[in-house]
Amino acid sequence: MPLGSDSYLRAVREKYNAIEIWPSTDRWLAHVKTWIAASIAAWQPTLGLTPASRVLNAGSGDESYNVSPGLLIDCDIAEKKLANMPCGVAGDLANLPLKTGSVDVCVCVGSVVNYVGDLPKAIAEIARVVKGDGRLILEFESSRSPEYMFTAHFGQDVSQVSTFYIYENENIWVYAEEHVRRLLAEAGFEVVAESRTHFVAPMIYRFKKSLHYAARFARFDKYVSWIPGLNKHSANVIYLCQRRGKR
Ligand SMILES: C[S@@+](CC[C@H](N)C(=O)[O-])C[C@H]1O[C@@H](n2cnc3c(N)ncnc32)[C@H](O)[C@@H]1O
């Protein structure tokens, strides 16, 4: 199934409508979820949110990450995930059902952009709905993950890969950080803080194809993240961005 096609989008929607997104039994994912939640919690005080703020959680699934205060708009193609969200709107990241300049902050985490074939369009769409001085928290999977070492995908700006999610095969796009930063800059977003995770587990997984086994090594991330040169080789990257536009 070609990535980025309507049939791919339909398959992603059906899949996410049917599954539990972060099963606690999956150590690999638990590590990512804890890191995303901690990053958002750490950056939240800098977001300048007030009860009058509007926050878009793009590709929300059923997780709000307690972003507050303000009105939290959860948007996802998997409409069943929105059933219990107070302000859920079904919609595609590449064509958001929101007005231009209508949100103060956009949170787009959980590898949402890795399912979008047209990353420039997705980032431009986020930039369209975020106010001129707004902020963005963006998380994505990197092509510089040790999982792709010694393959043609490694370090590519954009590459289609066959990887895994909850122990099942899935096809997504992965991106080089430089490419994502370039697109963010073109859209007026400056990266003001960043964090990375999953250095060791993907390396172990690259050579010993056991997810259960590899995921145990995630606890060594805190040491590797301080080693210059190695610390750019993570599976997951999260940025806090400040919009410098004029809208
Ligand atoms: C791994 S889940 C993460 C969900 C949530 N952000 C979280 O962190 O818990 C990825 C989500 O992206 C959504 N998604 C994928 N492609 C999308 C698109 N083009 N537009 C909107 N949502 C999309 C999926 O439906 C799914 O809910």
Planar angle of CA 27, 197, 236, nearest 5 degrees: 95
Give 112: exposed, middle or buried? Use CB within 10 Å, 0-12, 13-18, 19+: buried
Q: Which residue owns the Cα nearest ligand 1 atom 9?
A: 63
Distance CA 23, CA 173 (A): 23
Predicted confidence at residue 92, as pLDDT, reads 96
Q: How close is the Cα of 198 to the center of ligand 1, in Å?
A: 20
Q: To test ligand 1's pocket by mutation, which of 77, 126, 238 has the most ligand atoms within 8 angstroms of CB?
A: 77
In a domain, 78, yes or no: yes
CATH of the domain at 67: 3.40.50.150
Using one digit for the tens of pLDDT, what is the confidence trace for 21-52?
999 889 989 999 999 999 999 999 999 999 99
Residue 247's pLDDT is: 56
What pTM was computed for the model?
0.95
Kindly state whether residue 148 falls inside one of the protein's structural domains.
Answer: yes
Q: Is the minimum distance from the CB of 88 to ligand 1 under 6 angstroms?
A: no
Nearest to 27 by CA among 161, 238, 219: 219
Domain count, the chain: 1
Give nearest CA residue, ligand 1 atom 22: 59
Query: Is residue 238, in this structure, part of any structural domain at all?
Result: yes
Please report whether residue 1 resides in a domain.
no
Alpha-carbon torsion (45, 47, 52, 55), positive or negative: negative
Question: DSSP assignment, residue 6?
Answer: H
Termini Cα distance of the chain: 39
State which residues form the domain around 137.
6-243
Instruction: Return the residue whose CA atom lies nearest to atom 10 of ligand 1.
Output: 112
66 CB burial (10 A radius; 0-12, 13-18, 19+): exposed
pLDDT attached to residue 3: 56
Residue with tokens 């193609």: 77
Task: State how far the Cα of 143 lies from the Cα of 211, in Å rounded to an integer.
Answer: 18
Distance 63 CA to ligand 1 centre (A): 10
Which atom of ligand 1 is least distant from the CA of 17?
A: 25
Determine, yes or no, domain membership for 56: yes
Asked, for residue 51, whether it belongs to a domain, the answer is: yes
Q: How far is the CA of 223 from the centre of ligand 1 (A)?
A: 30
Predicted local confidence at residue 6, as pLDDT: 87
Return the pLDDT at 167.
Answer: 65
57 within domain boundaries: yes
Spans in the chain with pLDDT lower than 70: 1-4, 167, 245-247
CA 224 to each of CA 69, 96, 176, 197: distance values in angstroms, whole numbers, following the listed order: 35, 37, 19, 9
Decide whether any atom of ligand 1 lies within 6 Å of the 136 Cβ.
no
